[in-house]
Amino acid sequence: MNPTGKVTYISLSADDPAIDAAFGTAIAAVRAELGKSHALHVAGETRPGHVVIDSSNPADARQVVARVAGAGEADLRDAVAAARAAFPAWSARPWQERVAIVERAAEIVRQKKFELSAWLIFEMGKNRVEALGEIEETADLLAYYAGQMRSADGYVLQMDRLAPTDQNTSVLRPYGVWAVIAPWNFPYALLGAPIAAALLTGNTVVCKPSSETPLSAVKLTEIFEAAGVPPGVLSCLPGSGRVVGDGLIAHPDVAGVTFTGSYDVGFNQLYRRFARDFPKPCIVEMGGKNPALVMPSADLAQAIQGVQRSAFGMNGHKCSACSRVFVHRAVADEFIAGLARAADAVAPGDPLDKGVFVGPVATRQSYEDYQRYVALARTAGASVVRAGAAVLTDGARAHGYFVRPTVLADLPPDHPLLRDELFVPIVAVQVVDSLDHALAAANDTKFGLTAGLFSREPKEIDTFFERIEAGVVYVNRAAGATTGAWPGVQPFGGWKGSGSTGKNIGGHYTLLCYLREQSRTVCQ
């Protein structure tokens, strides 16, 4: 816990009697609700939906966590039409009222944090610290954005005059209907935050969660509704990427989009296709291939812990996960041996248990990907695999997606495992001869999300900041070499193939991405 008493991503545990008791109560309450059906929330009403999406528990894939109504094309049309119809009134409302609604939503998230965390553990397999961290982050993101709106005074600025009779004002105004498309790895934070940003700035929203985590979106929509978001201003459309995601992108009345997810979908299927007749704002937050650089002056224990937490924490399911390490030859043997020991020490288990560092990987797809990558590594050479590289099917792990954190070393430099985002607990270590060499290798990727350096040389730290191509960078961070950003603390976003705006989320400039400027001159 940090000094505020809040569990965040840099907390080492949530081991506290009050937290244990609250989790115990929440987990029991959620167990009693498992498998229930949830309706669609479209245009201010609930509906049975077009299909049913079964959300299952990755720790025991036989268990259905929730049966969530999924949207079809007619639901999509109705949701966009309702958002369009609601836009004039919502955008005309005093910004202070929108701030109050989003702040209420943040407060409800805080009040329900143990219940929502328990649902998240069942739906996605996060451990207690990660689940509680995400719910706290969601509340903080909402509150932070509300605070940004307030401190910008609604983004109305008096400008200079060219003539004494002129009155000149700059006003930032919303675009209209905003689509929010979210991934499964932070299903509350990465759906809730863009919804809040769009609503605060006066846009209306149609959102689509991942089909892997549809329940999170239902819960969040209910919270925004309870906080006072009027009918039609926010609709939620669980459903496939092809029908709902693509349908939103193609809809002419969708004025802007925030997508968080993979490069392939975000860039190839969305960014390149979204604008048709004229430019439209397209915020795509995508993947990473995040490097950690370890130099001879590093505190190796700190570096090993930092990489272990970033590569294996949440099973590598973070866009910021550390997936490549460039270690200086002088300390390489010691570092690799230490990291392999740290990987071997991780015992994946039931994420509901309080001491568990990692649970199952979150999806069937991740489980299959992991096995495919391990096979590729083995084909690359017997000495490549230094730790892990096995699935776990014993005892209580028989029906879940449990895998061993894996360390690879000495892959050929052009190997796909060093190039592609893996998104599972596999980290590849490469030996380098200098910081120059490490920086060149680290930057040799289409991605540019996060990066970390371990060094006690001030000159190396300066060079790293100057030359690394990434939007979020850390030095000597044992709590996470490349992971663990927090709203208002480390604004989070990517360069190059990791993000489109050059402005990070949870930061000072986020809301500007949802607004367009109107310069107003009145002459007397």
Catalytic residues: 285, 319
216 forms part of the interface with ligand NAD (CB under 6 A) = no
What's the Cα-to-Cα distance from 84 to each of 42, 81, 252, rounded to whole Å?
13, 5, 11
C-beta closer to ligand NAD: residue 148 or 260: 260
- Position of tokens 């004494």? 164
Amino acid present at 474: Y
507 forms part of the interface with ligand NAD (CB under 6 A) = no
179 forms part of the interface with ligand NAD (CB under 6 A) = no
What are the φ/ψ torsions at residue 485 (nearest 5 degrees)? -65, 155
245 forms part of the interface with ligand NAD (CB under 6 A) = yes
Which DSSP letter does residue 315 get?
Answer: G
Judged by CB under 6 A, the residue of 38, 84, 208, 309 near ligand NAD is 208
Region of 60-68, 115-123, 193-201, 207-215 interacting with ligand NAD (CB under 6 A): 207-215
Region of 123-131, 150-158, 178-186, 324-332 interacting with ligand NAD (CB under 6 A): 178-186
Judged by CB under 6 A, the residue of 65, 76, 181, 453 near ligand NAD is 181
SS3 track for 412-465: CCCCHHHHCCCCCCEEEEEEECCHHHHHHHHHCCCEECEEEEECCCHHHHHHHH
Smallest distance from ligand NAD to CB 505, Å:
7
What is d(CA 377, CA 512) in angstroms, rounded to the nearest whole number? 44
90 forms part of the interface with ligand NAD (CB under 6 A) = no
Region of 42-50, 176-184, 329-337, 458-466 interacting with ligand NAD (CB under 6 A): 176-184
C-beta closer to ligand NAD: residue 182 or 432: 182
Smallest distance from ligand NAD to CB 25, Å:
30
117 forms part of the interface with ligand NAD (CB under 6 A) = no
Region of 28-36, 169-177, 491-499, 515-523 interacting with ligand NAD (CB under 6 A): 491-499
Region of 279-287, 289-297, 336-344, 351-359 interacting with ligand NAD (CB under 6 A): 279-287
Helix (H, G, I), strand (E, B) or coil at 338: helix
Which of 98, 10, 144 lies closest to 491, judged by CA? 144
463 forms part of the interface with ligand NAD (CB under 6 A) = no
65 forms part of the interface with ligand NAD (CB under 6 A) = no
290 forms part of the interface with ligand NAD (CB under 6 A) = no
# binding residues, ligand NAD (CB under 6 A): 31
Q: Are 521 and 167 in contact (CB under 8 A)?
A: yes
Which of 4, 191, 229 lies closest to 105, judged by CA? 229
C-beta closer to ligand NAD: residue 354 or 508: 508
Tokens encoding 284: 């795509």
70 forms part of the interface with ligand NAD (CB under 6 A) = no
Smallest distance from ligand NAD to CB 366, Å:
9
501 forms part of the interface with ligand NAD (CB under 6 A) = no
Alpha-carbon Rg for the chain in angstroms: 23
Region of 21-29, 32-40, 345-353, 492-500 interacting with ligand NAD (CB under 6 A): 492-500
78 forms part of the interface with ligand NAD (CB under 6 A) = no
What's the Cα-to-Cα distance from 146 to each of 181, 196, 210, rounded to whole Å?
21, 8, 26
CB environment 93-119: b (16+ within 10 A), e (fewer) = eebeebbebbbbbbebbbebbbbbbbb
Smallest distance from ligand NAD to CB 490, Å:
12
140 forms part of the interface with ligand NAD (CB under 6 A) = no
How would you classify the pairing of strands 290-294 and 322-328? Answer: parallel
Asked whether the CA dihedral 41, 132, 352, 287 is positive or negative, the reply is positive
182 forms part of the interface with ligand NAD (CB under 6 A) = yes
Q: Would you mind telling me the total number of residues written for the chain in this entry?
A: 524
178 forms part of the interface with ligand NAD (CB under 6 A) = no
Smallest distance from ligand NAD to CB 244, Å:
7
From the number of C-beta atoms within 10 Å of its C-beta (0-12, 13-18, 19+), residue 17 rates as exposed
Which DSSP letter does residue 346 get?
Answer: -
Judged by CB under 6 A, the residue of 53, 190, 417, 439 near ligand NAD is 190
Q: With left for phi above 0 and alpha for psi between -120 and 50, is residue 387 left, alpha or beta?
A: beta
Smallest distance from ligand NAD to CB 187, Å:
9
What is d(CA 15, CA 169) in angstroms, rounded to the nearest whole number? 53
* Binding to ligand NAD in span 27-56, by CB under 6 A: none
Contacts with ligand NAD, residue ranges (CB under 6 A):
181-186, 190, 208, 210-211, 241, 245-246, 249, 260-262, 265, 269-270, 285-288, 319, 421, 423, 449, 494, 498-499
